[in-house]
Amino acid sequence: MRLFDLTGRTALVTGSSMGIGRALARGLAEAGARIVLNARDPGRLEAAAEELRATGADVLTLCFDVTDPKAVQEKIDSFEANHGPIDILVNNAGMQHRTALEDFPVDAFDRLMRTNVNSAFYVGQAAARHMITRGKGKIINIASVQAALARPGIAPYTASKGAIANLTKGMATDWAKHGLNCNAIAPGYFDTPLNAALVADPEFSAWLEKRTPAGRWGEVEELVGACVFLASDAASFVNGHTLFVDGGITASL
């Protein structure tokens, strides 16, 4: 399966100390990539790294706040200078805040947008500057089914994921000519720490099982195949695409 082999490549996954980010990092490592884990909490970051190293993976850590553009640029530039190229970037860092839109706090809106949208721009731009010089690179942004759908109480999150889907198109439009592949993955409802409150709600889980053609929550490992595909040579002519991994929820009324 040479097309899917990531041996010799380095993948930075933001927000990868837990949840989807950690699962994607593990999957990229299994495909042969050297992994760079990122988070703000150094303790949690090192714990995730040790867990991944125990599987035999080649793992480095890069601790910085993805919402701080200066720190992002400095850390990316320093890594490239000292450890070699970042071949694959997965912009996974994100947050959720559930409140009725009419009561949504302005500071929470700003924080959510900085975390979910600004960070993808900051880290994407910093990494792309090096990728453009080399004439190749893979950027994978983590969107959501909320790029296409909406539910009560999460309007700003929905807006942020719609922005990620369109930022992905913009990245591809500007950077494909430089040899970069820029795509997004849009997960459906997955059992993650971000969704812990929903997973614990029997009424919501019952609704979701009826609403989703697959009839269940997704498991984070089911996102790995899409990520490895988009990170690999198998996706060499895929650009600006958002791949929905959602059990069919966006396909069915």
Residues with catalytic function = 157
CB 143 within 8 A of CB 165: yes
Q: How many CB atoms lie within 10 A of CB 220?
A: 18
Backbone φ and ψ of 49, nearest 5°: -65, -45
* Partners of residue 244 on adjacent β-strands: 186
What residues contact 67, with CB distance under 8 A and at least 6 apart? 114, 115, 118, 119, 122
Side chain identity at residue 112, one-letter code: L
Backbone φ and ψ of 247, nearest 5°: 65, 15
Element of type H or E holding 53: helix 42-53
* Partners of residue 234 on adjacent β-strands: none
SS (H, E, C) 58-87: CEEEEECCCCCHHHHHHHHHHHHHHHCCCC
